[in-house]
Structure 1
Amino acid sequence: MKGIKLFIWVCLLVPGWAAHAQVFPLRWTDPATSALASTFTTIKSSDWQNGLGSLSGIQSPSADNVTIVNDPLAEGRQVAQVYIRSDQNYSQVDNGSPRAEMVFSGDVKFVQGQDYLVRWSTYIPTSYAFAPKLLMVITQIHQSALAGSPPVELDINGSDYVVSIRGGSGGTESKQICCAAQDQGKWINWALRYVPDASGVHASTQLWKDGVAVFGTQGVPNAYPGDNDSYLKMGVYLLSSFQGLSQITLLFGPVTIGQH
């Protein structure tokens, strides 16, 4: 039935890698945000080494759209792979839009007035084909309501990233971040400091890309009135057509949510 979310509840799909795994030289998180992260208490994390068990659900047409695969840059390490295909049936996915998203709800909700730090990593495969009019959400803080635009959203729009925030009685503040096309074949580390507040009085939204501040607002509403149940999602949510592409694939590294 169109318009109904299809949540595929997942368990540990891939056994944990050996407990004595070696330490790889490739960074998972940027040292420029490590000092900040040390001041937050971790309330949720996953490095995908024990499968998808940290998720509360997957929103996609099939469980196969989100899987654990080997890191293309580090032998023995595992990451989350998310893809969508143009020939799949999305009628049972929320609003019928092509998407495959990992849902971090359940025990982690973003309460207004609290201070959070979300860290994650993205990898655009070398086979990824950029299209000028292709627009997709890759990470979002989603409001508790099923409909509407998310209060925080990170997109790939053509060959660039775009970050947007929304809240209060309406309005959107966005910024284009150059350049996704230069990030193919390497891990990119993101950090979002998020103090949600629908009134804007205490609201703060700060985004770092590989330790460099790329977006920041203070006093701009970034949550909807009365909503203390927003949650984290990431994956691929297509807002345009496939632009002639048959498949879109992204990889995601470790995810950590901290709270002051």
Structure 2
Amino acid sequence: MKRLKPFLCVFVLSCCWSAHAQDLSMQWSDPTISSLGSTFTTLARSDWQAGLGLLSSVQSPSADNVTIVDDPFVAGRKVVQVYVRSGQNYSQVANGSVRAEMVFKRDVKFVQKQDYLVRWSTYIPASYVFDPKLLMVITQIHQSALAGSPAMELDLNGSNYVVSVRGNSHEAYSKQICCASQDQGKWVNWALRYVPDSSGAHASTQLWKNGVAVFATQGVPNAYPGDNDAYLKMGIYLLSPFQSLNQITLLFGEVTIGQQ
């Protein structure tokens, strides 16, 4: 793992099927952390059955860009569908970038040196076409300031994932995670253990994908100086042109934010 300039890498995704992956609950591969979630007090949680109430706002050109839909596999379960489409007017959306993002309630903040566990699920539809030139943020912990790159972000970069952390800098500590293409048509369960600290002294960032550790940093700054109001965002934030795709659609499952 090494420090990279953000968004310099272009990677790739493919497809496979797993019945186990349709379970939105985390199945930890390491028995020593199998009960990790139970050690955190839940600050916020939504299975989307009652709508978008966990959100403070939606950043999109239309209300139709972020909606509650039926889970494609489990009858009666609700998930969030997010899409962006070429030709929509994004000029009035945040900084004018192409996006359809869920902004989680601002009273759920990430305070420096506190220990958090965020759990969520993503679904890349079987119809999704992977474009090696396409780069988008799908999950981020956004600093309270309006400007600047996220303190932590998970991207789809071509057919792979990329996770990055940074502290008040455009220089990111990043890692590519293979391979989003193998997740097409099934649910992927994520867990982020996050101890923010702009100095790096107490900073810790750990990410699990389907219960398997895929990223970990210790002592690497992962928050902006003096910022105790960072917040969670999910959806699609396009960092490159649409290229060959006219519409991009993703699904998001249950979200839980806990603090120890």
Q: TM-score, normalised by structure 2?
A: 0.89
Q: Pairwise mapping of residues 192-231 of structure 1 onto structure 2 (< 5 A)?
A: 192-231=192-231
Secondary structure, counterpart of 1:136 in structure 2: strand
Higher relative contact order (CA 8 A, sep 6+): 2
Partner of residue 28, structure 1: 24
Deviations 1:28-64 (Å, cap 9, x if unpaired)?
1222165100000000000011111111110111111
Partner of residue 246, structure 2: 246
AA aligned opposite 1:118:
V
| Cα offset, 1:168, TM superposition | 4.9
Deviations 1:133-175 (Å, cap 9, x if unpaired)?
0000000000001111001000000000000000055631000
Q: Distance in 2 between matches of 1:63 and 1:34?
A: 38
Q: Distance in 1 between matches of 2:149 and 2:126?
A: 30
AA aligned opposite 1:89:
N
> Which 4+ stretches in 1 moved above 4 angstroms?
none
2:54 and 2:105 in contact (8 A); partners too? no
Partner of residue 15, structure 1: none
Q: Distance in 1 between matches of 2:97 and 2:25?
A: 31
Task: State, as a whole percentage, how many aligned pairs show the same letter.
Answer: 76
AA aligned opposite 1:189:
N
What's the C-alpha RMSD, in Å, of the aligned pairs?
A: 1.4
Q: How many pairs are equivalent? A: 237
Call closer, same or farther: CA 1:134–1:169 in 2, change over 3 Å.
closer
| Cα offset, 1:106, TM superposition | 2.1
Structure 1 portions without partners, runs of 5+: 1-24
1:137 and 1:154 in contact (8 A); partners too? yes
Call closer, same or farther: CA 1:225–1:246 in 2, change over 3 Å.
same
Q: Distance in 1 between matches of 2:133 and 2:59?
A: 24
Structure 2 portions without partners, runs of 5+: 1-20
1:168 and 1:199 in contact (8 A); partners too? no
Partner of residue 46, structure 2: 46
Q: TM-score, normalised by structure 1?
A: 0.89
Matched, 1:149 2:154: no
